[in-house]
């Protein structure tokens, strides 16, 4: 399957390439144009990796997918809640990579002091909604008509899972 590990700065080019590959489909991100490695440099460097890491799945020394956790809402009261971003290289989709990365995040999150995970997923992104549902995430919110993608109005689903026992 591959090895999951903490991302390093050397992985940033592959992380950005995978992210950029998701933009044309208009299914996984609200970005409409390709991003640059330089534009993500501060995003990477400013991370508190001990709390909100970026993990990559690597196969044959190549990054094939990544998952990041980021602080939700930026206020101290939400420090135990993280938002998930999950992207898989197009050549490796539908091979269980997303499942493995999501399971890893769920397993590791309590060790990071996280009790709640959130996913913000377009309502038309059925593969991601199904993946999160299979891992006990529930629909906690629905934001109708909040995104415009190439002239089409799209809805956003907030999927959540509380990890506290």
Question: Tokens representing 164?
Answer: 């506290």
Phi/psi of residue 72, nearest 5 degrees: -90, 125
pLDDT tens for 3-17 read: 999 999 999 999 999
The per-residue pLDDT for 26 is 92
Q: Residue 74: left (phi > 0), alpha (psi -120 to 50), or beta?
A: left
Is the pLDDT score of 165 beyond 90? no
Q: Which residues pair with 69 in a beta bridge?
A: 84
Distance CA 71, CA 50 (A): 12
Mean pLDDT in residue range 81-110: 97
pLDDT tens for 22-76 read: 999 999 999 899 999 999 999 998 887 888 999 999 999 999 999 999 999 989 9
Assigned superfamily of 3-117: Gcn5-related N-acetyltransferase (GNAT) (3.40.630.30)
The residues spanned by each domain of the chain are 3-117
Mean pLDDT in residue range 141-158: 96
| Overall pTM > 0.85 | yes
The per-residue pLDDT for 43 is 92
Neighbouring CB atoms inside 10 A of 144's CB total 9
pLDDT tens for 95-107 read: 999 999 999 999 9
pLDDT tens for 112-143 read: 999 999 999 999 999 999 999 999 999 999 99
């Amino acid at each position: 399957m591959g090895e999951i590990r903490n991302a390093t700065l050397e992985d940033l080019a592959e992380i950005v390439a995978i992210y950029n590959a998701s933009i044309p489909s208009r299914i996984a991100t609200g970005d409409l144009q390709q991003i640059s490695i330089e534009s993500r440099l501060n995003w990477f460097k400013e991370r508190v990796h001990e709390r909100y890491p970026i993990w990559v799945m690597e196969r044959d020394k190549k990054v094939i997918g990544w998952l990041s956790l980021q602080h939700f809402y930026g206020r101290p009261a939400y420090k135990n809640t993280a938002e998930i971003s999950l992207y898989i290289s197009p050549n490796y989709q539908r091979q269980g990579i997303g499942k493995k990365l999501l399971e890893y995040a769920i397993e590791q999150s309590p060790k990071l002091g996280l009790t709640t995970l959130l996913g913000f997923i377009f309502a038309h992104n059925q593969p991601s909604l199904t993946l999160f549902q299979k891992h006990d995430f529930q629909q906690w919110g629905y934001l109708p008509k909040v995104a415009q993608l190439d002239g089409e109005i799209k809805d956003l689903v907030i999927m959540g899972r509380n990890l506290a026992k």
